[in-house]
Structure 1
């Protein structure tokens, strides 16, 4: 009888020996589920730390479009492909990587290919990117546009980016009207944030890995100089013209031309301020604006001087008028000519 029972237990199939855990069985220690988000979904988790060090992720970029350069709004639009190569099955860059300097970003065509012996992710971005435009030499400025790609959840202890600079470039068909694309560079760097984000294992700072694409573009500024600053040129010529009018018979005309020059300069200044962002340095545009108003001021000063001296000392009045005319002309042409030549 005992022999029969022993044989029956030995012959029991493996599936019958496995029973469901009782309802009150506790979750094994160390297994913690992330809290659900407000919409009921589970937010993506940071990549787990590996015992052999952080996961190395090779990141590449192919830039297809540059559009909508808007200096007043400090932004531009770029369309580009990103890819990630790594060997960590627990890491999903589609869920945690962000474009750090994007005002808005749309992602499509996210994919994963594991058929080549490595985890190869791809995705396409269309982003409006924030840019701090350098306008010191405007309209002959050279800009270094940046696109910053960073993992928003995993620090350098878990994820470390490496730039795939060999395969990263700009599409030859990508053009920007009024600009010349001079270069493209992709590099990896560590970024330190002066906070632990509440991580109890960190003392002060936290460090994240980032890949930065730098696009160098040069503005074709001659046409823009002629069109955007034409009002200042007209104001200067109106101010200069006042020196050639006889004060005895055309004093009113000289005053009227000075007033017209002021209106032309002020109108052009408002248009220029709407085109450019505020700047903390003295720019080429500031030089042109300042010399224009200085020319109008000299023309107005000549009107006042002629009013005071043309009857009592006519010879002195003519000499003073000539000297102020020469100073206005030479100063405006000399200062602006040098500034434009230096910027170009």
Structure 2
């Protein structure tokens, strides 16, 4: 019953690394058979257009607040090659790892009056996982790209919304992928970083292009393996109300089962996850065990002078009332529609 109910409700950044050898500009017709340019949205002078296309996502690490991602990043620059700021871009929320990080330029071509640069990016990115609703949690993953210098304000950045997105083949086991998007944000540094041209205490401001992807945990895949002890505790309480001669042993087993499940979850999840849904569920299970002990004890010993018919009626009501109260409390605890960024 419990399974059915829950299942139904269920560092420094990486910088762009130029290609080992200089890539010569192609002619106005870079590829035979292709037009030199295709009409696109106007690009203002001194503006760098940035787009991202996410191709891979894995390595979810709850304890170290990170995940792995691979994507293509491209820029479109309307000015001269000498002033092209594309190689000054960096992933702002990456964790430096020399064995994992990759920010490599794949191509650079002049197409008409614009310079198009294409990069491949692979690395480990920071995300503060909020697990108070585990295993019903949803998260908004962010990949932020901007200038390596946090005080740099020009050239201005612009978002290529038309071509950015997520690969339809991207798959993350145990998670459901939701809406994706890309936007231009302004980041603030609460310091002038010692720049003598800025007033003391004045914040630094910079632009960043942020690609987002919502992911939601498939709760049904985690309920049985991660919450089996709690389900067993409820089942043992039911048996304790049915089989009176072994009631004490069954209740003791229910307590051990619930406590063991809590210890198991504490070992695989960060400590902040234990204060949310899991902690509340633990409390519901323990209160339910106390209800079983108290109700049975009162009816058997404290109401001995009552008519047998009344006692039998009350005793028969303990089991359905226990199940109704426990299932209702669990249902009320299940979070709905919560997405953490």
TM-score (structure 1 length as normaliser): 0.73
Aligned runs of 1:60-209 on 2, under 5 Å?
A: 60-86=51-77, 87=79, 89-94=82-87, 96-104=88-96, 106-111=101-106, 113-116=108-111, 117-153=113-149, 155-203=151-199, 204-209=202-207
Residue deviations 1:146-185 (CA, integer Å, cap 9, x gap): 1111212153533322111111111111111222222221
Query: Which residue does 2:285 correspond to in 1?
Result: 292
Aligned runs of 1:1-344 on 2, under 5 Å?
A: 55-86=46-77, 87=79, 89-94=82-87, 96-104=88-96, 106-111=101-106, 113-116=108-111, 117-153=113-149, 155-203=151-199, 204-246=202-244, 250=245, 253-279=246-272, 283-302=276-295, 304-305=297-298, 308-309=301-302, 315=308, 321-340=315-334, 342=336
Residue deviations 1:19-47 (CA, integer Å, cap 9, x gap): xxxxxxxxxxxxxxxxxxxxxxxxxxxxx
Contact 1:186 1:214 in 2 (8 A): yes
Q: Give the secondary-structure state (helix, strand or coil) at the position aligned to 2:236.
A: helix
Post-superposition offset of 1:97: 2.5
Post-superposition offset of 1:122: 2.5
Q: Give the secondary-structure state (helix, strand or coil) at the position aligned to 1:58.
A: strand
Post-superposition offset of 1:140: 3.0
- Cα RMSD, aligned residues only: 3.0
Post-superposition offset of 1:318: 5.4
Name the stretch that deviates more: 99-108 or 232-241: 99-108
Contact 2:53 2:166 in 1 (8 A): yes
Ranges in structure 2 where 5+ consecutive residues have no aligned partner: 1-43
Contact 2:136 2:218 in 1 (8 A): yes
Contact 1:305 1:317 in 2 (8 A): no
Bigger RCO of structures 1 and 2 (CA < 8 A, at least 6 apart): 2
Distance 1:173-1:303 versus aligned 2 partners, 3 A rule: same
Q: Number of matched residues?
A: 286
In 2, the alpha carbon distance for the partners of 1:113 and 1:313 equals 91
Larger radius of gyration: 1
